[in-house]
Amino acid sequence: MASVDETALAQEDAGPASDRATRTPRRWNWPYIIVITSVHLLACLAVLPWLFSWTGVIVAAIGVIVFGQGINLGYHRLLSHRSFKVPRWFEHALVAVAICCLQGAPISWVTTHRRHHRDSDGPGDPHSPREGFWWSHFRWLAVEKPAAAETAAISRHARDLLKDPFYRRLQRTPVMQLVIFVPHALLFFAAGFAAGYFGEGGSAAAGLQLGLSVLVWGVFVRTVLVWHITWSVNSATHVWGSRSYDTGDDSRNNWVVALIAMGEGWHNNHHHDQAAATVQHRWWQFDATYYVIVLLRWLGIATNVIPVRSRRRAAQTQP
């Protein structure tokens, strides 16, 4: 990793507003634009009646929950905030699940998120809605970040992840993400094909139909849904909702996003107490992701689960 030079750090500090000022014309991140556009187009195939199956719909619904946890549990609460610990093999498995969501390598994701918390809705925030709602939702992804500023940001914000050779390899060789994503998509197709083939007494046409249905719904539609759910945490929960805490930014608690993002919509709570494994500050602010952590703790996989700030303080003051 290159050493951090001061100019790059200053550029990183200045954030997206500076990107626009210093880059004319703006340089587009074509690999990301192509991937995002292609998967959206492939997901549109779901409107074809021939590709509809209830199996595909159910696989997509379960997939949103399971693969969404790669992001919520893996990239966000574990890697970005270290709000609990798991064995290294489990952490890497979660990262592999997150890679199947096509949201980038863990080092980039965590760097972006930690920058977001460090300067939330300020000039260094990579995706503040103050730059425009659609900017915060996905347009920020379409702009190529200056390489030097990106390297500086990674050195500053993801030093811990750089120690892991698996994460370094994923960062250095982006195509490795496709090496994980493509076989997982083929696996979905193969499972669907086998179910259709054997379910219809050895019919290859039935196998092809169910295989493609599971591929379109269970992989492409699911990937698009998980994208927009994650992106709505960056956009909607900094625009709409209530605020329980004066966090110095625009973060809000949005129950709709909380519902679809398995708890992540209680975003003002999260900005108030970023270290805690839970964002459930009231009994009715259901945080499904936290209960997954509770389950993992019960199974003996998760340890050192960080409680909410009031409990941390109470524990500190105990004699």
The full 3-state SS of the chain, as one line of letters, equals CCCCCHHHHHHHHHHHHHHHHHCCCCCECHHHHHHHHHHHHHHHHHHCHHHCCHHHHHHHHHHHHHHHHHHHHHHHHHHHCCCCECCHHHHHHHHHHHHCCCCCCHHHHHHHHHHHHHCCCCCCCCCCHHHCHHHHHCHHHHECCCHHHHHHHHHHHCHHHHCCHHHHHHHHCCHHHHHHHHHHHHHHHHHHHHHHHHHCCCCHHHHHHHHHHHHHHHHHHHHHHHHHHHHHHHCHHHCCCECCCCCCCCCCECHHHHHHCCCCCEHHHHHHCCCCCCCCCCCCCCCHHHHHHHHHHHCCCCECCCCCHHHHHHHHHCC
CB 121 within 8 A of CB 130: yes
Residue 307 phi/psi, 5° resolution? -80, 175
Q: Which residue has the tokens 């959206």?
A: 40
Q: How far is the CB of 127 from Zn ion (least distance, A)?
A: 9
Cβ closest to Zn ion, residue 120 vs residue 155? 120
- Nearest residue relative to Zn ion (C-beta): 251
Nearer to Zn ion, 114 or 207 (CB): 114
Q: Which positions from 117 to 156 touch Zn ion by CB under 5 A, shown as an x/- string?
A: ----------------------------------------
Q: Which is nearer to Zn ion, 123 or 146 (CB)?
A: 123
Comparing CB distances to Zn ion, the nearer of 195 and 275 is: 275
Q: Which is nearer to Zn ion, 171 or 251 (CB)?
A: 251
Residue 191 CB, nearest approach to Zn ion (Å): 34
CB of 121 to Zn ion, least distance (A): 8
Q: How far is the CB of 116 from Zn ion (least distance, A)?
A: 6
**How far apart are CB 243 and Zn ion at their closest, in Å?**
12
> Considering only residues 39-98, where is the footprint of Zn ion by CB under 5 A?
none
- Residue placing its CB nearer to Zn ion in the complex, 82 or 282: 82
Closer residue to Zn ion, CB minimum distance, 11 or 251: 251
**244 to 283: interface string for Zn ion, x by CB under 5 A:** -------x--------------------------------
Q: Minimum Å distance from CB 238 to Zn ion?
A: 6
The CB-of-164 to Zn ion minimum distance in angstroms stands at: 20
How many residues at the interface with Zn ion, by CB under 5 A? 1
Contacts with Zn ion by CB under 5 A lie at: 251
